[in-house]
Amino acid sequence: MDYDPNDIVDMPEDNNKPSQKPIERIIVEKEVRPKRNFFWRLFSFLFVCISVLANIVILLVIVGVIAVLTGAGSKTKSVDSEVIAAGPKTQRIAVISVDGLIDDRQYDFLHSQLKAAREDKLVKGVIIRVNSPGGMVSSSDRIYNEILKYRDDTNKPAIAFMQGIAASGGYYTSVACDKIIAEPTVITGSIGVIMNYFVVEGLLKEKAGISPIVIKSGPHKDWPSPYTQPTEEQLNYLQKKVIAPAYKRFVYVVNQGRGDLSIDDVLRLADGSIYSAGEAVDEKLIDAIGYLDDALKMIYELAGIDAAEVIEYKRTFSLTEFLNAKAGFNFSFSRKMLNELSTPELMYLWQMNQ
C-alpha cells in the first residue's frame, strides 16, 4: 500500500512517555528572554557619569551666581547693615564691632564699617562695641587711628561700649573714642606689651638631628634667634629696642584719650594689671557702667539728638573668604611654618599665662 503523508495515523498512546508540550513551552520561553548586553551596561555607566558631572557643573554655576549677587570678593561693599533698634528713619546711630583677636583682618573689617558710616549721611554717631583681649600692636594702633580720623573728618561722636573683655589692645582702641562705657562684668586694663617666640633648638638638635648654621652681618642681626636660648644681654636689648617703644606708645595714647589721667596716673596703672568695671570707673579708665541702652543715651546726648534708628554692620558673605577659611585647616609642617612659629610677635594682648 502506498504511503500518503496526508493520511492521519493514530498511534498508540504511550502512557510512560512524558508529554512534549511542556518541553516545547520551556524552549520557547528561553529563546524570547532578553539577554543583558555589554554595550548596554557601558552606555548606562557613561550616562550616570555624565549626569553626575552635569550636576556638579550646575552646582558650581549656582554657587558662582550667588557669590556674584552677594558681592563675594567685591571691595566696594564688604558690609551689610541690620536694624537692631527702631527709631526715626531720618537719622541713625551705627554700631561697629571690634570682636575677638585684633589682627589685620579685624582692622579691615573695622575700616569697612567706618567707611559705610561715613558714606551714610543719616548716621549721626557711632558706637564701637569692643569685646576683645587685644592682639597685634600694629593692628591695634591702626584701628585707634581710624577711629580718630572718623571723629576728626566727620565731626561726629564715637563712644566705646565694652562687653566681656576689653583689655590691652581692646582698651587701646577704646581710648580713641569720646567716651567709654562698660558692662558691669567687663574685664579691662592690661595696659602693657608682651612678645612671644619659640626656641626650637632642642627640637632640631635632639629630635631631628639638625644643627642650624647662621651667617650674619652683625652680632645683633639674629636677635632673638629661634635656634639658641637668649642671653641676658639679648633680653635687655629686646626690652630696650622692642618692648619699651611699644609700651611708651600705649601710655601716650591712654594719656591722650583719658584727659583726667596724668602721665604719672597712667604709668601707675600701666603695669599689665586688669581691672573690673567698678575699678576702671574709680581709676578713670572708663566713664560709666551700663548696657547698650545706656550707651545709646550717651551717644544721643553727644550727637545732640533725642532718638534714632540703630543699625549694626555685618560682614557680607564672601565665597573667597569662606574657601580660604576652609583651606586654612590644612596642616603641613614646612620651613615657612617653622619660620612663622619662631618669629617674635609683639602684642597688646591680655594672656592668661603671662
- Considering the candidates 89, 216, 221, 314, report the single residue annotated as catalytic: 221
Closest C-alpha among 184, 84, 170, 108 to residue 135: 170
17 is catalytic: no
Q: pLDDT confidence of 57, banded at 50, 70, 90? A: confident
Closest C-alpha among 125, 72, 136, 70 to residue 98: 136
Instruction: Tell me: pLDDT of 110 over 50.
Output: yes
- Considering the candidates 139, 168, 174, 225, report the single residue annotated as catalytic: 168
Query: Measured in Å, how far apart are the chain's first and last C-alpha atoms?
Result: 129
What residues does each domain of the chain span?
A: 79-317+335-349
Span 226-240, average pLDDT = 89
Do 140 and 169 form a contact (C-beta atoms < 8 A)?
yes
pLDDT of residue 336: 61
**Measured distance CA(187)–CA(350) in Å, rounded:** 10
221 is catalytic: yes
Highest mean pLDDT among 10-14, 115-119, 320-324: 115-119
Q: What is the tens place of the pLDDT at every residue in 293-351?
A: 999 999 999 999 999 999 999 988 655 555 554 444 454 555 565 566 567 789 999 98
What does pTM read for this prediction? Answer: 0.74
Do 161 and 301 form a contact (C-beta atoms < 8 A)?
no
Phi-psi region of 187 (alpha: psi -120 to 50; beta: other; left: phi over 0): beta
CATH topology (fold) of 79-317+335-349 = 2-enoyl-CoA Hydratase; Chain A, domain 1 (3.90.226)
